[in-house]
Amino acid sequence: MTSTERGSQHVQTSNEASSIYDLGYRRYEGERLGRSQAVRALYRESLRAAFGLGRSWSAKVGPAILIFFALIPALIQLAIGALVPVDEIEFISHDDYYSDIKFIMALYVGVVAPDLVGRDQRNRSLTLYFTRAITRFDYAFAKLLAMTTAMLAITLVPQLLLLIGNALASDEFGTFLSENWDQVFPIFGTAFAGSWLLASIGTLIAAQTPQRAFATVGIIVAFLLPLAIAAVLVQEIHASWADLAVFLSPMDLLDGITYWMFRTDPAPEDIIAMAGYALHWSALAGLVVALGATGLLLRRYARIQA
């Protein structure tokens, strides 16, 4: 038998053995929820990931520990207010709370933000996201919103616990709340403003690299290094140009926003007071920085190679 005949026999045998199977595949005929539902789903899953929900225990340890440490001062005040009622007890004021936990806040953003946006880059799953209903703008917006919401665990919750603790320490719980209802807006205002400010900066830095360690270090440096530089320049160099350093420090901006919203004056030794600028300038600078970081984050995902 020639090679040509053997080849023809092989083709014939293969054709006879081949079969077509009906696997029952059908077109999807259900409701298509569209872009808005896709964005909500991405936001929901990103928020769960920020707290390590649905993942291994190791992913939950870091955020849980930092949230606990941020809540400790408020929990202590709440417990003392409930157990030892006195006419007036306030170990920590609302406007000073962020200053006491600023390092925990920096660590929290440094732990959560790299995992929130870096995993998709490491797993190369951005292409799958962008081939669906959501746009690059939607993706960046959902991630930033999830990070901002996660930040409320250490910005809003402690402030509410402080308010309840002070109310329990008073003679009349209801009377205290009715007399201090004007604190509610500053509590929510500083929490949302501070969360957006820190989340926008942290998410922007984390989006630059898929490497978690590099992103974490970069975020912590971005928060703490300007804080130290501003302290040195304002305290040691008595010049108007040096005082401008407070507007380059996110943590100092958060303090200024807090004092402005609560309508309180910082202590004379506070960097904000030493700089000498009106508090509303800190609020304006914080808004500019948050908007700028948000814009750069959107631009990053508009140019990123998925």
Residue 262 near residue 186, CB atoms below 8 Å:
yes
Whole-angstrom Cα distance, residue 149 to residue 47? 7
pLDDT in tens, 178-191: 877 888 899 999 99
Rounded to the nearest integer, the mean pLDDT of the chain is 84
105-109, 172-176, 226-230: the lowest-pLDDT one? 172-176
Tokens of 161: 């616990």
Q: Which residues contact 125 (CB under 8 A, 6 or more apart)?
A: none
Q: How confident is the model at residue 119 (pLDDT cuts 50, 70, 90)?
A: confident
Whole-angstrom Cα distance, residue 202 to residue 195? 10
- Does the pTM surpass 0.85? The reply is no
Could you tell me which residue, 143 or 238, shows the higher pLDDT?
A: 143
Whole-angstrom Cα distance, residue 248 to residue 241? 12
pLDDT in tens, 269-301: 888 989 888 999 999 999 999 999 999 999 998
